[in-house]
Structure 1
Amino acid sequence: MATKAVTFDSLRNDIVNRNFKPVYLFMGEETYFIDALTDLLEENVLTDAEKDFNMMLFYGVDSDVNTIISSARRFPMMAEYQLVMVKEAQELDHFDDLNYYVQKPVPSTILVIAYKHGTVDKRKSVVKNIEKAGVVFESKKLYENQVPAFIKSYFQVRGIGIDEKSAQMLTDFVGNDLSKLIRELEKLEISLPETQKRITEELVEKNVGISKDFNNFELLKAITEKDTLSANRIVNYFDKNPKNNPIQVTLSVLFNFFGNLLECYWLPNKSEQHIMKALELRSAYFVRPYLTALKYYNANKVMEIISLLRTYDAKSKGIDNVSAAPGELLKELVYKIMH
């Protein structure tokens, strides 16, 4: 029988519902998920009164494995659990020696190991035994196409909604840098009027500084619909506001779209449902631009556009480009794409 995948959401639900495991290993490149899960356990395992005698915090750089194991083998005082947390565990010497404990952990101890900026080799006994006794969660960087779903999930647990366009605007503006993204999401949450429980594009425009009418989402829409007037207006706006509209972000958005569009041409069935499944899109809302673009751009033109995007990406980095500014390059590119 297949093992159910461990996800951030499933772990968060288990922790909030006090379905604890005796050992947790959180490891990986994306520190946000590691910190969030560690904080959740700190908030939910013990009450404030219980923490005085039953919570021990270690940092890998100035701790040793024997002391951690000795602490984990203690029993809680006037509480159901004791919580032993090892932060920055990637700095811990003789990490593999934790295997002596995790083979038979104490049920009343919850040992949390936060290992950042890398992973422990999953073939090692210590990882295999943690997986048998508890949870191993690898915190991976999100791909940009996963960020809108993360944004929706972030607000959903707080009882707040957000529309698809607003989530995509934030993604295009911030990318997959979650530490930067969280700051913007917190800003939006604070700015919500008391009677309002939904993030709108107007709220994003006011508090994040992204124009609801002049952004990569609207530029892509104008290009797919062959709306030259709107595309030119947006490109001119980008030219006058380069700090909030860097050309590299725009090129990335266009490259992802036309790369996916090229894939659509080889689909035997180009229905909304089949395109959504093939491109792993999360809703029909994001299929519509592809259906529109299929009417206006043939496969040969799309291959030409992808080649243009590579050329202008190089030019934006100074290759074969002596003096053209990013705004000028984008104007040239969009003209060539649409003609």
Structure 2
Amino acid sequence: MDEVVKIVNDIKQGNIKPIYFLMGEEPYYIDKITDFIEGNILSEDEKGFNQMVLYGKDVSVDEVVSHAKRYPMMADRQVVIVKEAQELSRTIEKLESYANNPQPTTVLVIAYKYKTLDKRKKVTKLIEKNGVVFESKKLYENQVADWIKRVLSGKNYTIEPKAAAMLVEFLGNDLSRISNELDKLMIILPAGNAITPKLIEDNIGISKDYNVFELRKAIGERDELKAYKIAEYFSQNPKDNPLVMTVGLVFGFFSQLLQYHGLKDKSPFNAAKILKVNPYFLKDYDIALRNYPMRKVSAIVATLRDIDVKSKGVGAGNIPQADLLKEMLVKIFN
């Protein structure tokens, strides 16, 4: 995120490079930088003749280079943007000659999603020398809640930890989807306020009481009644609560719990770092640690592996997903 801010600030200050090669598994920041360049380098009057958006599936690298070598018309610069440039991956090294001597009056933006250039290759080194190579890496799920907090803080909002956890549980580490949902919430919530679980439930459709986060918490507390209520809700809403995802997240919880049992240093800072969880939620792990001895946790992990295989249709016959979910709970609590 700091690198994104630097790129944007450099452009605002007039330090504009002739090539921006934006690559990586996380498309969110690639789109953000591309959109910023598309919207801000040229004036509206200049864009008509001097801004061009191409798509990787429709052009060749040679055609991209040909457009980039043109001179601007009645403007200091032209902007050439290649979206979905990963479609050019087989011939992308043809950029080498242009990268060695880029047109100084062209801003060439290559949006190369879901893939990366080998940084040892000559083409990569030349782009780095004369332009910008930006790699957008996927965040781990344990990093997403902090990312949500930073994004909201920059827009004068806060979010309750449980609300952030709900978004992560429901949307994973898909930053674009999370950003879209946050934008919806910020439309209806005045700046300076906190996003709460109730607000998410009312406007995004994630139940604050019946979600995988709450199921995991109920299991950790050995609150069987609550766990079975949530399981029943999941059974009635299978599309919103796929069993494969539920089992995977519960499996992740007990895998972390097994790791927690084995830690010599269980101080909050060290435990949160090793388990890759927000320190706010360590209390849930402390409760589960008391409720599930290490041997029991090992047995549960083995059980969850079996349920996971069955949830994917292997060796389960015609067992309904709802029954598999109940079987999972029975074996955890017994």
Equivalent-residue separation in structure 1 for 2:16 and 2:267 (angstroms):
45
What is the identity percentage for the equivalent residue pairs of Structure 1 and Structure 2? 48
Residue 169 of structure 1: CA displacement? 0.8
Task: State the shift of 1:51 in Å.
Answer: 2.2
Contact 1:38 1:114 in 2 (8 A): yes
Distance in 1 (CA, whole Å) between partners of 2:5 and 2:252 is 27
Indicate the residue corresponding to 1:257 in structure 2. 253
In structure 1, what is the Cα distance between the partners aligned to 2:14 and 2:300?
Answer: 52
Structure 1 runs (4+) deviating above 6 angstroms are none
Give me the whole-angstrom Cα distance separating, in 2, the residues matched to 1:156 and 1:17. 24
Structure 1: how far apart are the matches of 2:301 and 2:250? Answer: 9
Letter in 2 for 1:170: L
Which residue of the partner structure matches residue 309 of structure 2?
314
Instruction: Compute the TM-score of the two structures, normalised by the length of structure 2.
Output: 0.87
Q: Given residue 34 of structure 2, which amino acid in structure 1 is its aligned partner? A: T
User: CA contact under 8 A between 2:4 and 2:29: conserved in structure 1?
Assistant: yes
Q: Where does 1:96-111 land on structure 2 (aligned, <5 Å)?
A: 96-111=93-108
* Structure-1 separation of matches of 2:175 and 2:234: 24
On the 8 A contact 1:15/1:40 being kept in 2, the answer is no
- Unaligned stretches of 5+ residues in structure 1: none
Q: Is the 8 A contact 2:166 2:213 kept in 1?
A: yes
Q: 1:144 to 1:280 in 2, by over 3 A?
A: closer
Change (3 A) 1:83 1:169: same
**Structure 1 counterpart of 2:113, one-letter code:** K
Q: Does 1:155 align with 2:147?
A: no
Query: What secondary structure is seen at the aligned counterpart in 2 of 1:287?
Result: helix
In 2, Cα distance between equivalents of 1:198 and 1:53: 45
- Aligned CA distance change for structure 1 residues 110 and 285 (closer, same or farther; 3 Å): same
Aligned residues: 333
State how far apart, in whole Å, the 2-side matches of 1:302 and 1:19 are: 56
Deviation at 1:272, TM superposition (A): 1.0
Shift of 1:144: 2.9
Tell me which moved more, 220-229 or 151-160.
Answer: 151-160
Alignment-mate amino acid for residue 158 of structure 2: G
The corresponding residue for 2:186 is 189
In the other structure, the counterpart of 1:119 is 116
Letter matched to residue 37 of structure 2: L
1:34 aligns with 2:38: no
SS in 2 for 1:159: coil
With the length of structure 1 as denominator, give the TM-score of the two structures. Answer: 0.86
Give CA deviations for 1:244-278 in whole Å, capped at 9, x if unaligned.
Answer: 22222211211111111211222221111110122
1:1-339 pair list within 5 angstroms: 7-8=3-4, 10-12=6-8, 14-15=10-11, 19-73=15-69, 81-92=77-88, 94-190=91-187, 192-194=188-190, 197-281=193-277, 283-339=278-334
